């Protein structure tokens, strides 16, 4: 098969795609990854063949013109996708207004730079399967233009599919034809000689990398796939190869807070100070800028800019993190209890689900203090139930099919179409 991956030029999103791209390549399929030109180096660094399409436009640079809205997005999911976590909000006016806003200020701006050249490449290369991250609708437009099978490859909770279910249900009840997302995609379908169909929004099927206990699903066809950690080039430091003399705890808050929001919500110094007298080895991964803001580093703390989490988590007794899906999934592979301090997008919802499974605890970063973190970390380290919950989650994750194991399923789905 010829398989085309389509992604927005965001490294943290692209890294979710890499293991499946390599599984398809090693199974003998021809793979290409399309994105904006400035992202070519990231794709080729992963050993994959890049297809630069369109011009370079970074949507976050446009968003910076609305700092109040950017700051407000720290709270969690944007409208209308927050109905996936709060279904009581799902009424017609709320969803319709939310879709209008997101089509104008997110989906259209994010996809427009790539669409024309991506369709041109698809017509030239004729992919059999197009896999696109769930907001890269340019992928579904190109697939529709050439009649290819296509699917979403999730990097988060399926807030998009669940929200769409709510919208379609209310649309049918009201017999109202207004549909901002469908109308936008319909224009491109007509431009390239086809008509709109619902798969342009949610794919012919969806590859979901979260275990069932952490997942939310819509009325769609899902192909479960185990998350495989990939964080780009990495080196395992010598100190990490030495077993810790006391319980090791990792502390990481991801890159989005510093790259998109200008800093962490939680007071990092307060957290480090609150844990300073504990008999633990705390490994805190902080950017240089964040480290520079610290006035002191406790003796039991090692501050580093980066270490491969799949190596670090394997040596830990607990991990404190922001509930980013990749961080949460990587930690889950090792059966380690987790303390989540979420602040953005689907992180609060994922953190709550993790707590519900008995594999950890969560405190929203808007209210988390060092004292809170200390209290909950001591529970994770001292109460055996959390370790048992973490091991149950690990077993559930390991029972999922790997990227290599789902390749035959993808081949079959393409053949059926």
Q: What pLDDT shows up at residue 170? A: 95
Q: pLDDT band at 74, cuts 50/70/90?
A: low
- State pLDDT tens for residues 333-389: 999 999 999 988 999 999 999 999 999 999 999 999 999 999 999 999 999 999 999
Mean pLDDT of 223-242: 95
What pLDDT is attached to residue 290?
Answer: 77
pLDDT digits 0-9 by tens, 123-176: 999 999 999 999 999 999 999 999 999 999 999 999 999 999 999 999 999 888
pLDDT, mean over the chain: 93
Per cent of the chain over pLDDT 70 is 93
pLDDT digits (tens, 9 = 90+) for 175-219: 888 999 999 999 999 999 999 999 999 999 999 999 999 999 999
Residues of the chain with CATH 3.40.50.2000: 2-226+400-416, 238-398
Q: Does the pLDDT value for residue 64 go beyond 60?
A: no
Give a three-class secondary structure readout of the chain. CEEEEECCCCHHHHHHHHHHHHHHHHCCCEEEEEECHHHHHHHHHCCCCEEECCCCCCHHHHHCCCHHHHHHHHHCCCCCHHHHCCHHHCCHHHHHHHHHHHHHHHHHHHHHHHHHHHHHHHHHHCCCEEEECCCCHHHHHHHHHHCCEEEEECCCCCHHHHHHHHHHHHHHHHCCCCCHHHHHHHHHHHHCCCCCCCHHHHCCEEEECCCHHHCCCCCCCEEECCCCCCCCCCCCCHHHHCCCCCCEEEEECCCHHHHHCCCCCCCHHHHHHHCCCCCCEEEEECCHHHHHCCCCCCCCEEEECCCCHHHHHHHCCEEEECCCHHHHHHHHCCCCCEEECCCCCCHHHHHHHHHHCCCEEECCCCCCCHHHHHHHHHHHHHCHHHHHHHHHHHHHHHCCCCHHHHHHHHHHHHHHC
The pLDDT of 223-236, averaged and rounded, is 96
Confidence band of 61 (pLDDT split at 50, 70, 90): low
State the CATH architecture for 2-226+400-416: 3-Layer(aba) Sandwich (3.40)
Q: What is the pLDDT of residues 95-106, one digit of tens each?
A: 999 999 999 999
When pLDDT is averaged across residues 30-41 and rounded to a whole number, the result is 97
Name the CATH code of domain 238-398 (choices 3.40.50.2000, 3.20.20.70, 1.10.1750.10, 3.30.70.360): 3.40.50.2000
More confident residue, 74 or 64: 74
What pLDDT does 256 receive? 61
């Amino acid at each position: 098969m010829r398989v085309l991956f389509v992604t927005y030029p965001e490294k943290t999103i692209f890294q979710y795609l890499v293991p499946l791209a390599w599984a398809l390549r090693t199974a003998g399929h021809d793979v290409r990854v399309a994105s904006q030109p400035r992202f070519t180096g990231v794709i080729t660094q992963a050993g994959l063949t890049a297809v630069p399409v369109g011009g370079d436009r970074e949507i976050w640079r446009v968003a910076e013109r609305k700092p109040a809205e950017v700051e407000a997005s720290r709270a969690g999911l944007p409208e209308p996708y927050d109905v996936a976590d709060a279904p009581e909000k799902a009424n017609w006016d709320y969803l319709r207004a939310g879709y209008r806003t997101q089509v104008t200020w997110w989906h259209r701006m994010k996809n427009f730079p790539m669409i024309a050249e991506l369709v041109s490449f698809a017509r030239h290369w004729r992919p059999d399967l197009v896999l696109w991250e769930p907001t890269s609708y340019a992928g579904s437009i190109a697939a529709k233009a050439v009649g290819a099978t296509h699917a979403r490859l999730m990097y988060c909770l399926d807030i998009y599919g669940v929200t769409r279910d709510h919208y379609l249900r209310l649309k049918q009840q009201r017999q109202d034809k207004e549909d901002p997302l469908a109308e936008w995609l319909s224009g491109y379908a007509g431009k390239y000689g086809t008509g709109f169909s619902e798969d342009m929004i949610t794919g012919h099927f969806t590859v979901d990398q979260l275990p069932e206990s952490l997942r939310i699903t819509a009325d769609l066809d899902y192909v479960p796939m185990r998350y495989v950690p990939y964080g780009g080039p990495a080196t395992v430091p010598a100190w990490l190869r030495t077993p810790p003399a006391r319980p090791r705890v990792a502390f990481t808050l991801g890159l989005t807070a510093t790259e998109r929001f200008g800093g962490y919500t939680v007071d990092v110094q307060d957290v480090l100070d609150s844990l300073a007298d504990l008999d633990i080895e705390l490994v805190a991964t902080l950017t240089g800028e964040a480290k520079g803001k610290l006035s002191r580093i406790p003796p039991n703390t090692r501050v580093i800019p980066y270490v491969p989490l799949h190596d670090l988590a394997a040596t830990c007794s607990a991990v404190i993190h922001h509930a980013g899906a990749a961080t949460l999934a990587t930690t889950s592979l090792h059966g380690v209890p987790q303390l989540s301090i979420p602040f953005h997008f689907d992180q609060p919802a994922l953190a709550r689900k993790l707590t519900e499974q008995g594999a950890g605890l969560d405190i929203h970063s808007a209210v988390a203090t060092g004292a809170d973190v200390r209290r909950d970390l001591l529970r994770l380290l001292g109460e055996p139930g959390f370790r048992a919950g973490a091991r149950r989650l690990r077993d559930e994750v390991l029972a999922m099919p790997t990227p290599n194991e789902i390749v035959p399923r993808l081949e079959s789905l393409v053949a059926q179409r």
